[in-house]
Amino acid sequence: MAADKTPQPLDYAFTAPIEKDGAFATFLTVPGSAELLGTRRAVKVVGTLDGEHPFEATLMPSGDGPHWLPLRVALCKAIGKSAAGEEVSVHLQQRLS
């Protein structure tokens, strides 16, 4: 699937707390992502945050299991959340890479 650049449908929802350490200033850990995506490499996805805020992002491999979903400042402002520990609902809808 790595060579296939055609968008793939995804239907994966989870809720995770905002985290503030690691390689990104603000991010979420995507549980079970390596198994879901079949890779530990970076993967571009589209989805929604908190049921209504669309986003496109690259899930970054953590190196030891699940991927991280970086949250840009604009996304944090859109959902009104940016503090570590605040819960965010995520629905991954499409895989772009």
**For residue range 31-82, what is the model confidence (pLDDT) as tens digits?**
999 999 999 899 999 999 999 999 999 999 988 889 999 999 999 999 999 9
Confidence of residue 5 (pLDDT cuts 50, 70, 90): low
Comparison of pLDDT for 25 and 52, the residue scoring more: 52
Does any domain span residue 18?
yes
CATH number assigned to the domain comprising residue 80 = 2.40.30.100
Q: Say how many residues make up the chain.
A: 97
Confidence of residue 4 (pLDDT cuts 50, 70, 90): low
Q: To the nearest 10°, the Cα dihedral for 88, 17, 71, 27?
A: -160
Give the domain range for residue 74. Answer: 6-94
Does any domain span residue 48?
yes
Q: How far apart are CA 1 and CA 8, in angstroms?
A: 10
pTM, 2 dp: 0.88
Q: What's the domain count of the chain?
A: 1
Query: Which ranges in the chain belong to alpha helices (H)?
Result: 33-37, 73-79
Does any domain span residue 23?
yes
pLDDT at 24: 66
